Amino acid sequence: MSGAKTAPTSANVSDFIAAIAPVSKRDDAILIDGIYRRITGHDPAMWGPSIIGYGSYHTTYASGREVHWLRAGFSPRKAKHSFYLMGGYCDDLSQGRRQQKFHALGKHALGKSCLYINRLDDVDLTVLEEILVEDWAIMDRLFPL
């Protein structure tokens, strides 16, 4: 069985955020980090070179493949912030409720387990936080700590 390509590292999250350019992306990352800390109650860890993760979970797929991955997190990429919405990825039942929130969110794009936002100014921060809170609650239900 091969190991995960992205795993927790010992890199310092504060140093990573401090080095983000441009300043507007750095400011967004500071705000996002504060939201995640408040929602999760977890200090962040770096996953690979560019993902900031909060908590982790273990699961085994039907294929037998074991996964150790972050419960929640984001990556402040140059083009867009990537939010890893693992609750929605792991729980199909939440999709209907989430679509209403995504509709109210503002300018964004979606992937299978990711929400992409260029700048926080493009979205309603209250709705974003509601999405992140719901996602964390789903992970707590599916993978209790």
| 57 phi and psi angles, rounded to 5 deg | -150, 160
By DSSP bridging, strand 66-76 and strand 51-60 are: antiparallel
Residue with tokens 């936002």: 117
Maximum alpha-carbon separation in the chain: 44
Q: Does domain 13-142 have CATH number 3.90.1150.200?
A: yes
Q: Return the number of other C-beta atoms located less than 10 Å from residue 3's C-beta.
A: 8
* DSSP 8-state symbol, 6: S
Residue with tokens 């039907």: 62
Whether the CB-CB separation of 61 and 67 falls below 8 Å is answered with yes
Q: How far apart are CA 12 and CA 127, in angstroms?
A: 29
Instruction: Enter the pTM of the model.
Output: 0.91
In order along its 145 residues, the chain shows pLDDT tens digits of: 445 678 899 999 999 999 999 999 999 999 999 999 999 999 999 999 999 999 999 988 788 888 889 999 999 998 999 999 988 777 766 666 788 899 999 999 998 889 999 999 999 999 999 999 999 999 999 888 8
Report the amino acid identity of residue 89. Answer: Y
| Nearest to 105, CA basis, from 125, 86, 135 | 125
